[in-house]
Structure 1
Amino acid sequence: MINRNMTFSILAVDDDPTNINVIISHLKPLNAKMLIATSGDAALEILKSVQPDLIILDINMPNMSGLEVCKQIKSDPLYKHIPVLFLTGSEKDISEAFAVGGVDYIIKPVRSEELIARVNTHLTLSTLVDSLDKANVMLESVNESLEIKVAERTKELVAANSNLRREIDERRRLQDKLTYLSNHDFITRMFNRNSMEMELKNVMESSYEENKKYYFLFIDLDQFKVVNDTCGHIAGDELLRQVADLLRNLFSKEDIIARMGGDEFAVLFNLDSLEHAIRRTSAVKEAVESYRFEWGDEAFKHSLSAALVEIDESIDSVSHLMSIAERTCFESKRKGGSEVSVYNYTKQHIDKTHQQMRIIPLIHHAIEHDQFTLYYQEITPIIEDGTRKIEVLIRLVGSDGKIKPPGQFIPIAEKFHIITEIDKWVIRKAFIAVKELPSHVEVSINLSGDFIAKSSAVDLIKRYLAEYEINPHQVCFEITETSAISNIESTQSLLSSLQPLGFKFALDDFGTGTSSYEYLKELSVDYVKIDGMFVRDIDKDDISQKMVESIAGIAKAKGIKVVAECIETAESLDILRSLNIDYYQGYYSHVPESLVNFRAD
């Protein structure tokens, strides 16, 4: 465990200021001194004057990648001892990251608990290595002293024999202590993470051949920080010692118990079935949650979040097992704590998340190699007004040449916050298309909530406007109601900056929010697009018809044009016509097709 009375310094290196701010915010509980650099060159310059205790380094940076920065750091004897923790949005860089000297990695987006746990672990390891180095220096000093004394006393062997034996015994005690410290946790006197990983390696190599069933239990104490913050770190250390004793009493001498770092413990044990392993885990959970930790006049009860993983042939390495255990334990934390997640039971959900993360490199590859394409769908006026409106829609071209719909990649891009790169691609390609279109054609472009929230959004659109020299009156940006509400100030800023230039705005999926009408009053948009959930069954559902009529009435009172989405039947269109809706959009009039097929006449 890190001594909280010590001040640690952490250098965060990322070319995106937003990521820097996220890292600083997540690490605030550590009270560490934070150094920041937005490029590799800046990071190397900082190292000339300050040597941090740990470096958090983004892999993908312009001019000099994080891998090259790490390589230079590790080539310099002055800095090579500093642990480097990589940030990456893609697992494809991981093997190279370790090859250049990285000690660990975190996949973006960064989770607070994971980042703090990893930083705590490597600061602790770094401190331990430093302690071991000092012990080695002391041992070398003792050895040198011992050799001198042996030479001086050789002439007086009989008289010096007892002293010589004492010197040798002292050396052996130091060696034993050094060996013990390298394999055990100083606070709990349990095995440490390194020892547990060695035991796991041995078990995984032998258990498959012996047909034994082994289980790995990963435990994270909930509310441990409450004791540290309330009673101090001495109390926190004592709590860890008492929990360690509790775990020892719950398992046999043959079971391997270790403190993995911070408030994390792990147990490797052998039982005949998963059912018995679950019962054993439940007993551990009950014992920990029934235990009261007392410190002075204070008494605390704790819960735990845990992961139980059956070790089988599908797990091919210790690092793979640790990754599964940590991700499964995170599922327990995500559910609010006091939860045990069994990998076999939660595997489908966890594997789904893992599969989603594998799509991230494919999205990056598609952006870099222009493997997206634009489709379009007509927005048809109910009463002809001399204009032509279309909405551009993105599709992904797979390696097999097949077109993948947005549902297969847009939600993942949004979840892992890489949707803004897709937004930039769409805006740029749409502007290129607009430049070739006649002036009576208006193109609608969707913007994500992440893009709206970026402070650089307005500047980027203005830059593209100047670069492609388009008529802004031909562009309408569509923002979903939920995105607008979530980023209301950013949305208002975007409208106030771009509408004077001639850009139009539409509030998409309108009616899905809890305060739709209130925000319609606040936002000065040009169009409202009524969500398809109200329109799809308008010819069969009187309530839906009243909802559409109400939205249209309020919009028109503000002078806002109304578009109805998801129109699929002539009957629905007749009702919209009777309600004086301005435009409709849906498969009834036009099935989306490639933008290259668009004809303006």
Structure 2
Amino acid sequence: MPNEKLKLQNDASFHIPESGCLYIQKTPAVIEYFMQNFRIEEVHSDHLVIPYSTKAALFDMLNDIPETAELFTNVQPYGRSGMPLSLPLPYLKERIKHELLVKVIISGSLTSYFQPIIRMKDNKIYGYESLLRTNFPKRNIPPGLLFDVAHKTGLHSLLDLRAREAALEARAGKLPGGVKSFINFLPASIYDYKVCLRQTFTMIEQHDISPQDLVFEVVETEKISNVHFLKSILDVYRELEVEVALDDLGSGYATLETLKILNPNYVKIDRFFISHCDQNKVKQRFLQEVMNIANATGIFVLAEGIERKEELEYCKSIGMHYAQGYFIGKPSPEPELALAAKM
């Protein structure tokens, strides 16, 4: 696998020319196949050079290569040589297949919306979750699709960085000090947490944001494969006066046991357990168990996905601290400074 730090630094300038040459890492197991099936322009000690006339022709060529071939590839304009940045074969195929979305990720054509989070005891604004959106007013690209493409193309670290940049830029222009920003991050994107922290805190300083106004939120869309490594990352954030949150408790790998090990500042309950919690005894038992752990450890609990007044009232009745959801306020390009009287 190419060095992840090198990839992150170079992906912004990576370009697939309309015509040029495909550079393929040469291994004994595959060289005969390529020599027999493709016109080879050059043979170097470590790679083959195969010309292509259009991106469509390149994509067809890549599809002809057996999926079992574990190869690193690069593309460059015709006449240029070398492999300064190599990608696994599946990444290159997906980058051609999803060219528009790849351009969005690399260019950073992104912004951040605000979804309000209230303090239960007085229904006042406590903060906002920063939610990634694209900068295309007439074209809605779902954030989930962007992250899916980022994983398939090897751009998940870059997109995670771009999302943090967008969240901090939006906050700097629109939120006063003392209001929290909950900013997502993907555990699997942190290839070197010291590098990631340095990049993040450089952005924080550039925008003159107080670290105490930030909450970095572990998004439970990926398997938490090494919970103790993740804990070491969260501990470093907290040492730098940034609070941390565990998202989607009760879903997938974000379990009560994970909560006890990570001991975050905040835990956000998965919306499955919030939906109609006022009517469901099984959900109520789970929520009460969360509250027992939270009360014993000093963790603040946030209910996500509040869509009915009855859900809000039940969560408040068992002592939850914060809430967000469509009943409270939808994501918006501008923060809602005053909430409706319906609460």
5+ long unaligned stretches in structure 1? 1-11, 21-37, 39-59, 66-87, 106-114, 126-191, 199-315, 332-352
**C-alpha separation in 1, matches of 2:60 and 2:166:** 44
Match of 1:524 among 257, 263, 267: 263
Which protein shows a greater Rg? Answer: 1
Aligned to 2:168: 431
User: CA, structure 1 residues 431+197, in 2 after alignment: closer, same or farther (shift >3 Å)?
Assistant: closer
Question: After superposition, what is the alpha-carbon deviation per residue over 1:114-166, rounded to whole angstroms, capped at 9, x for unaligned?
Answer: x7xx52356x46xxxxxxxxxxxxxxxxxxxxxxxxxxxxxxxxxxxxxxxxx
- Distance change (3 Å), C-alpha of 1:120 and 1:547: same
Residue type of the alignment partner of 1:544: K
Q: What is the aligned residue count?
A: 299
Aligned mates of 1:477, 1:15 — CA distance in 2 = 26
Question: Partner letter of residue 450 of structure 1?
Answer: A
Provide Cα deviations, 1:446-492, integer angstroms capped at 9, x if missing partner.
00123334331122222223322211111100003465832434422
Q: In the alignment, is the contact (CA less than 8 A) between 2:224 and 2:253 conserved in 1? A: no
1:549 aligns with 2:285: no
1:136 corresponds in structure 2 to: none
Choose from 383, 386, 408 the match for 2:145: 408
1:120 to 3, 16, 28: 28
Q: TM-score, normalized by length of structure 1?
A: 0.44
CA contact (8 A) 2:309 2:327 kept: yes
> Which deviations, in whole Å up to 9, do the C-alpha atoms of 1:55-102 show, x marking residues without a partner?
xxxxx579xx8xxxxxxxxxxxxxxxxxxxxxx7x7x34732x1xxx5
**What amino acid is aligned across from residue 553 of structure 1 in structure 2?**
N
Cα distance per residue 1:24-45 (max 9 Å; x no partner):
xxxxxxxxxxxxxx9xxxxxxx
Aligned equivalents of 1:355, 1:325: Cα separation in 2: 11
Are 2:187 and 2:230, in contact at CA under 8 Å, matched by a contact in 1? Answer: no
Q: How does 1:23-422 map to 2 (within 5 A)?
A: 60=10, 92-93=16-17, 95-96=19-20, 98=21, 102=22, 104-105=23-24, 119-120=27-28, 124=31, 194=35, 323-326=62-65, 330=68, 357-358=95-96, 360-384=98-122, 388-398=126-136, 401-422=138-159
User: Offset at 1:578?
Assistant: 2.0
Residue 577 (structure 1) aligns with: 316
In the alignment, what sits opposite 1:499?
A: 238
Q: TM-score, normalised by structure 2?
A: 0.73
Pick the structure with more helix per residue.
1
Deviation at 1:194, TM superposition (A): 4.7
What is the aligned partner in structure 1 of residue 190 from structure 2?
452
Contact 1:434 1:474 in 2 (8 A): no
Higher mean alpha-carbon deviation, 522-531 vs 493-502, is at 493-502
Amino acid at match of 1:534: F
Kindly indicate whether the alpha-carbon contact (under 8 Å) linking 1:443 and 1:474 is maintained by their aligned counterparts in 2: yes
* CA separation of 1:482 and 1:555: change in aligned 2, threshold 3 A: farther
2-structure distance, mates of 1:193, 1:496 = 50
SS in structure 1 opposite 2:168? helix
Residue 139 of structure 2 aligns with an amino acid whose one-letter code is K
Q: CA RMSD in A?
A: 3.6
1:379, CA displacement in angstroms?
1.2
1:377–1:590 contact (8 Å) kept in structure 2: yes
Q: Supply the distance in 1 between the matched residues of 2:241 and 2:123 (Cα, whole angstroms).
A: 19
Give the letter aligned to residue 401 of structure 1: K
Tell me the amino acid that sits aligned with residue 312 of structure 2: L
Counterpart Cα distance in 1 of 2:223 and 2:18: 37
Secondary structure of the 1:404 match is coil
User: In structure 1, what is the equivalent of residue 87 of structure 2?
Assistant: none
Matches within 5 A, 1:584-595: 584-594=323-333
Structure 2 distance, partners of 1:521, 1:193, is 53
Q: Do the aligned residues in 2 keep the contact of 1:510 with 1:530 (CA within 8 Å)?
A: yes
Instruction: Write the distance in 2 (CA, Å) between the matches of 1:470 and 1:514.
Output: 32
**Contiguous gaps of at least 5 residues in structure 2:** 40-55, 70-90, 339-343
Give the Cα separation in 2 of the matches to 1:391 and 1:193.
50
Q: 2:274 aligns with which of 514, 530, 535?
A: 535
**CA 489–439 in structure 1, closer or farther in 2 if over 3 Å, else same:** same
Rate the CA distance shift 1:541–1:599 in 2: closer, same or farther, 3 A.
closer
8 A contact 2:247–2:267 mirrored in 1:
yes
Name the SS for the 1:593 alignment partner: coil
Instruction: Supply the distance in 2 between the matched residues of 1:563 and 1:482 (Cα, whole angstroms).
Output: 18
Identical counterparts, % of pairs: 25
Report whether the alignment pairs 1:462 with 2:201: yes
**How far apart, CA to CA, are the structure 2 residues paired with 1:489 and 1:554?**
19
Number of the residue aligned with 1:564: 303
Pair 1:535–1:412, CA change in 2 (3 A): same
Q: Is the 8 A contact 1:439 1:474 kept in 2?
A: yes
Change (3 A) 1:579 1:472: same
> CA, structure 1 residues 194+461, in 2 after alignment: closer, same or farther (shift >3 Å)?
closer
* Gap change, CA 1:320 and 1:474, over 3 Å in 2: closer
